[in-house]
Amino acid sequence: MKRRALLRLAGAAGVWAGQLGAGRAATGAKPRVVIVGAGWGGLAAASALTRDSETFDVRVFDREREFRSLPLANAWLVGRTPLRLPPLDLATLARRQGWRFDAAPVQAIDRARREVQAGGERIGYDALVLATGAVGDPAAWFGDDARAASEARTRFPAGFEVGELETCRQRLEAFAEVGGGTLLMTVPPAPYRCPPAPYERAALIGWWIKTRRLKAKLIVLDAGGGMPRFNRLFGERYQAQIEHRLHTPVRRVDPFRKTVTTDDGEERFDHALLLPTMHAGALVREAGLLGRDAQGAATRWAAVDAGTLRSPHDERVWIVGDAMDNVSPLFGAYPKTAHIAADLGAAAAAQIGAALHGARDAAPAALPRSLCHVWLDAEPAEQLILDASFRRRGDGLIVQSVRQTDNPQPRDEDLQWARELMAQRLGVSLG
């Protein structure tokens, strides 16, 4: 984000805009922006807020020390590709871009005092960006049985959170080394992160079982109806390797006996990739920032105003990325993808820039785009390109269009996409 662009947005005002950093401006101090989450959304916001100016005092918190990419990880999990995006050391990136990084989980948000609590410290903010992503919520399967939840997470991680990726890969390898058996994978009710990711993963595991000649079967217990393109593919190419059961939500899991229960009965497994229903995480819930459904019940996601990217509960809080609740009655939530998180991180930075500079009638947040290159098959390589774009129609509602194109001869377009997104949004050039 160019300083000029921030200042252009700064020409106009929200009700409170201009007061946001006003107290600190009087003392000559920069307005403080705290960002929770150094994933695609949080890093894009930090990079945009610090790119061309020293206007803000930006502090980023993440419980991980490194940024690792979930995009491109499925092919690496089964050894189809090497790790194609190297991990980024967050402290080094922070020094280069001019923001401060703390490797610590944020434990609580005190909205009344405008402070977050992390590592025994209370840190004040003028604007808070929540880019905490999406996490599995074991409560639906385990209630308050923390031992069972921890056992499932440790032994059968789904690899849908970066901290689980390495273990997920090692456990798959161990499953192969003992000769296979029944491998179970759960697909939770939507929304979850990256809608095609479980199906891409299943197709690649089908290939992995076949080429490694494992005596194994992948059973996919899918709470929803799948994706037509993959539903066909599993039946046509991987009938011996994949059994895909649609509309089969998992009701209970016993990680000690290695069983799951569905409405059809109990299923035993030798290894599993257990992905529970996803949500925005405890921090968002405990801060009272969840959305409401039509019946007034709390949703699993952070409420957000799609025009400003602010929380409707608190004008000092911006929400970006996977944590976001619905943005349009026409399609619900944005797809939970890295591309959208990164675009919205930059858009939130522009909104904050406008607010902190006392903008009047700030323009609505720029709409994101999502381009996904998804493996359909591994050998010969075949991919599917999912291109989701958004526009505001006359009444202001956001409309989504999705184009799906086959790419029968991929030539690293996925890698190129990821590198371009990192350069454009995260300010990271991989050379």
List residues near ligand FAD by CB under 6 A.
36-42, 61-64, 70-71, 73-74, 105-106, 131-133, 160, 162, 193-194, 197, 281, 283, 321-322, 336-339, 341, 370, 372
Q: How far is the CB of 97 from ligand FAD (least distance, A)?
A: 16
Q: Which of 220, 253, 221, 64 is nearest to 149 (CA)?
A: 253
Q: Write the CB contacts of 84 (distance below 8 Å, at least 6 apart in sequence).
A: 72, 76, 415, 418
Q: How far is the CB of 165 from ligand FAD (least distance, A)?
A: 8
**In angstroms, rounded to a whole number, what is the distance separating the alpha carbons of residues 272 and 275?**
9
**How would you classify the pairing of strands 242-245 and 135-136?**
unpaired
Q: Which is nearer to ligand FAD, 55 or 132 (CB)?
A: 132
How many beta carbons lie within 10 A of that of residue 50, not counting itself?
23
Q: How far is the CB of 354 from ligand FAD (least distance, A)?
A: 22
Q: φ and ψ at 133, to 5 degrees? A: 75, -155
Q: Which is nearer to ligand FAD, 10 or 289 (CB)?
A: 289
Q: How far is the CB of 319 from ligand FAD (least distance, A)?
A: 10
Burial 418-427 (b: 16+ CB within 10 A, else e): bbebbeebbb
Q: How far is the CB of 383 from ligand FAD (least distance, A)?
A: 10
| Residue whose beta carbon is closest to ligand FAD | 39
Q: How far is the CB of 258 from ligand FAD (least distance, A)?
A: 23
Q: Which is nearer to ligand FAD, 73 or 205 (CB)?
A: 73
Q: Which is nearer to ligand FAD, 152 or 386 (CB)?
A: 386
Q: How far is the CB of 173 from ligand FAD (least distance, A)?
A: 17
Q: How far is the CB of 41 from ligand FAD (least distance, A)?
A: 3
**In angstroms, rounded to a whole number, what is the distance separating the alpha carbons of residues 381 and 203?**
12
**In angstroms, rounded to a whole number, what is the distance separating the alpha carbons of residues 347 and 345?**
5
Q: Which is nearer to ligand FAD, 82 or 296 (CB)?
A: 82
Q: Which is nearer to ligand FAD, 193 or 279 (CB)?
A: 193
Q: Which is nearer to ligand FAD, 244 or 357 (CB)?
A: 244
Q: Report in angstroms the alpha-carbon separations of 271 from 156, 174, 188, 246.
A: 7, 9, 18, 20
Q: Which is nearer to ligand FAD, 22 or 385 (CB)?
A: 385
Q: Which is nearer to ligand FAD, 89 or 266 (CB)?
A: 89
**In angstroms, rounded to a whole number, what is the distance separating the alpha carbons of residues 243 and 248?**
12
Structure tokens at 136: 């599995």
Q: How far is the CB of 13 from ligand FAD (least distance, A)?
A: 29
Q: Is the dihedral of CA 92, 97, 101, 106 positive or negative?
A: negative
Tell me whether the omega of the peptide bond preceding residue 368 falls within 30 degrees of 0, making it cis: no
Q: Which is nearer to ligand FAD, 31 or 41 (CB)?
A: 41
Q: How far is the CB of 71 from ligand FAD (least distance, A)?
A: 3
